[in-house]
A and B are shown apart, each in its own frame.
Chain A
Amino acid sequence: MRIEISRSGGFAGMTRTWSLEVSPAEAEERWLPLADRAAEAPQGEETRPERDQRDRYVYHIVIGYQEVTLPESRLDEPWKELIERARRGPTG
């Protein structure tokens, strides 16, 4: 399954896009449940940057049917790993 990650904002305000292929099993087990949880979080909590943070990145991640928007300051470890893998791989 293809996962697309686009990163906007940051000091430069430049949008970059990366993608990677994961097995359907990995998507089902690891990434879709995480995306579902993030998507269900109330607006203003998960999707907004922490108060007073400026020039940080905003990530938009599309996994199959699900898409989530996450400010950099709220990215926890599994997401960081996913983004790292996508950045290392060929750009889509």
Chain B
Amino acid sequence: MHPHCSIVPPHLLAHLAAVDDPRHAVAARAARRALVQLDPLLAGREEAFAAPVPPRTAVGRPLERRISDAGGQEILPGTLVRGEGDAATGDAATDEAYDGLGATDALFRQVYGRASIDGAGLPLAATVHYGELYDNAFWDGERMVFGDGDGDVFGRFTRSLTVISHELTHGFTQYSTNLVYEGQSGALNESLSDVFGVLVEQHHLGQTVDQASWLVGEGVFTDQVQGRALRSLAAPGTAYDDDVLGRDPQPATMSDFVITTSDNGGVHINSGIPNHAFYLTALHLGGYAWERAGRIWFDAAVGGGIQANSGFRLFADVTQEAARARFGQNSEEHEAVRQAWAKVEVTG
């Protein structure tokens, strides 16, 4: 096949190439071959129509996932157990991580036209079964790492798609705004992970603003904990209320901003404020949140207006400007963003 004769658009090829159903193995192989042969300039043009892609960005490289198993040790990366296109392993954490990375890549690639977290097709790496009864999931700068949970408070972290998409979005943020992980800029870093974390799930399930749970980490608590999830974008501060663990400490407005030295200055706490601003924007606009509200936040994140040390106020200004630039001055979208930031008391 001559690359210029390809009738299938590159994003569809990438999608086909990522299919791991054995019934479509031939089509997937053909698509992967076509992608390799695809004229990079042509591919670049296709992507440029779909979204604002930063200059000098290589596009068209298909999704590539690598799931490793740490086998209960705290050593990274562990042993590679599932590569791109490999059949399911039967290990829940491995297969959930594999599928979750695919769902996250689908939102960024198909909706926003960004090839992987760096916009240049970086392979997506994850390690599962990290540590013994390890009760956390984190991003180490190169890969996502998932513990199995302590079985007491937390179960397996990969059970919630939003945990996987939250971690991978830390990678996206590292390659875009790289917000400093402390204080307000750190809370914005956390908020971007929660926002795109829930959008990945909504996109994957085809949910509208009204149908979505707006919860982060639903299903990671064991039955012994009184709580639905770790955070709620719709109602920060209400995700859990447990006799032993206490209450969800997230504020929804600046009046309740928490000043603390723990948690790198409350990065997982004050993220409730920008989280709620995003939710209010999406609620105002209705429909699928990733289409307009998500697009505005994505444009803001890659547009260059956010500085590494940005606080809430600058972020609010940049999202309003992104809404104006894409949808027009005083458009419904511009108005939705303006009202949302005023309601959470970041702007007057």
Q: Do A and B bind each other?
A: yes
Which of B140, B163, B166, B267 is the one whose CB lies under 8 Å from A9? B267
The reply to whether the CB of A12 lies closer than 8 angstroms to some CB of chain B is yes
- Cβ–Cβ contact A8 & B262, under 8 A: yes
B216 to chain A, nearest CB (A): 9
Return chain A residues, CB-CB under 8 Å to B262: 6, 8-9, 15, 58, 60
In the assembled complex, the Cα of A89 lies from the Cα of B138 at a distance in Å of 26
Q: In chain A, residues 44-63, which have Cβ atoms closer than 8 Å to a Cβ of chain B?
A: 49-58, 60
- Cβ–Cβ contact A10 & B136, under 8 A: yes
- Cβ–Cβ contact A12 & B230, under 8 A: yes
Return chain B residues, CB-CB under 8 Å to A12: 136, 154, 217, 230, 268
Closest to B74 in A: A80
Write the A5-35 contact mask toward B (1 if CB under 8 angstroms, else 0): 0101111111110000000000000000000
- Cβ–Cβ contact A54 & B189, under 8 A: yes
Return chain A residues, CB-CB under 8 Å to B163: 11
In the assembled complex, the Cα of A51 lies from the Cα of B141 at a distance in Å of 8
In the assembled complex, the Cα of A51 lies from the Cα of B170 at a distance in Å of 12
Return chain B residues, CB-CB under 8 Å to A49: 181, 264
- Cβ–Cβ contact B181 & A13, under 8 A: no
- Cβ–Cβ contact A54 & B139, under 8 A: yes
Whether A55 touches B167, Cβ cut-off 8 Å, given contacts A11-B138, A49-B181, is: yes
Return chain A residues, CB-CB under 8 Å to B154: 12
The reply to whether the CB of B59 lies closer than 8 angstroms to some CB of chain A is no
Return chain B residues, CB-CB under 8 Å to A8: 262-263
The reply to whether the CB of B157 lies closer than 8 angstroms to some CB of chain A is yes
The reply to whether the CB of B75 lies closer than 8 angstroms to some CB of chain A is no
- Cβ–Cβ contact A13 & B166, under 8 A: no
In the assembled complex, the Cα of A60 lies from the Cα of B263 at a distance in Å of 10
Closest to B178 in A: A52
The reply to whether the CB of B245 lies closer than 8 angstroms to some CB of chain A is yes
B199 to chain A, nearest CB (A): 18
Return chain B residues, CB-CB under 8 Å to A15: 246, 262-263
Write the A50-79 contact mask toward B (1 if CB under 8 angstroms, else 0): 111111111010000000010000000000
Write the A32-46 contact mask toward B (1 if CB under 8 angstroms, else 0): 000000000000000
- Cβ–Cβ contact B264 & A58, under 8 A: yes
In the assembled complex, the Cα of A60 lies from the Cα of B260 at a distance in Å of 13
The reply to whether the CB of B269 lies closer than 8 angstroms to some CB of chain A is yes
- Cβ–Cβ contact B230 & A55, under 8 A: no
Whether A56 touches B136, Cβ cut-off 8 Å, given contacts A12-B230, A13-B269, is: yes
Return chain B residues, CB-CB under 8 Å to A52: 139-142, 174
Q: Beyond the given A12-B154, A55-B166, could you list 7 further A-B residue pairs with CB under 8 A, ordered by the A residue number?
A: A11-B136, A11-B217, A50-B141, A52-B142, A53-B141, A54-B167, A54-B170
